[in-house]
């Protein structure tokens, strides 16, 4: 008996691939010293989008060429959560144990950017203090997972609409 494809199986597989791809991308950013380059951080969104497309495409193929909008949305959102969790665990370990100076590098870059905007020292100190409260490894981990799921859901709304192919109604 042939096993029916499930959205969870596709999401688990491609979520793990997305998480591993994000880990590799993060490592490249860390090793090359580009952790404060916002353009590269946004470039990293391509990995989960590609994983989402591939996961939905694989599910649709295994499901006889059909995938509903809801199935695609479920695959994309769950995939993003899994990938975000794996990448978050990796980043937590890296930032906490491998290179704890990254947090300070980011705060220094933030200070520099605020100075370039012409803010006075009191405003900069208040902004840095607030940023440092929200940039602890635990909070960064939690916010990272939440944002991965939220962004994954939003992107899934679009990708699912493009990739869906409903089964025709059978009026027998």
Range of the domain at 85: 7-163
The whole-chain average pLDDT of the chain stands at: 92
Residue 159 within a domain: yes
Residue 1 above 70 pLDDT? no
Residue 14 within a domain: yes
Residue 76 contacts residue 145 (beta carbons within 8 Å): no
Residue 14 contacts residue 51 (beta carbons within 8 Å): yes
Residue 131 above 90 pLDDT? no
Cα torsion 35, 40, 45, 46: sign: negative
Residue 170 within a domain: no
Residue 74 contacts residue 11 (beta carbons within 8 Å): yes
Residue 1 within a domain: no
Residues 82-99 pLDDT 10s? 999 999 999 999 988 998
Residue 2 above 70 pLDDT? no
Residue 169 within a domain: no
- pTM equals 0.88
Residue 2 within a domain: no
Number of structural domains the chain divides into: 1
What's the gap between Cα 106 and its chain centre? 19
Averaged over 65-85, what is the pLDDT? Answer: 97
Residue 79 within a domain: yes
Residues 4-42 pLDDT 10s? 899 999 999 999 999 999 999 999 999 998 988 888 888
Residue 72 within a domain: yes
């Amino acid at each position: 008996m042939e096993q029916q494809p499930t959205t969870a199986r596709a999401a688990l597989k491609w979520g793990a691939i997305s998480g591993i791809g994000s880990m590799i991308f993060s490592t490249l950013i860390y090793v090359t010293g580009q952790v404060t380059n916002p353009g590269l951080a946004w470039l990293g969104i391509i990995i989960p989008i590609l994983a989402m497309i591939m996961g939905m495409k694989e599910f649709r193929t295994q499901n006889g060429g059909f995938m509903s909008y809801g199935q695609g949305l479920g695959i994309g959102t769950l995939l993003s959560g899994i990938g975000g969790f794996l990448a978050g665990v990796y980043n937590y370990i890296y930032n906490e144990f491998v290179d704890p100076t990254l947090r300070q590098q980011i705060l220094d870059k933030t200070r520099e950017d605020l100075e370039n905007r012409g803010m006075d020292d009191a405003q900069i100190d208040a902004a840095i203090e607030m940023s440092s409260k929200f940039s602890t490894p635990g909070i960064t981990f939690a916010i990272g997972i939440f944002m991965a799921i939220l962004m994954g859901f939003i992107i899934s709304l679009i990708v699912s609409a493009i990739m869906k192919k409903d089964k025709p109604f059978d009026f027998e």
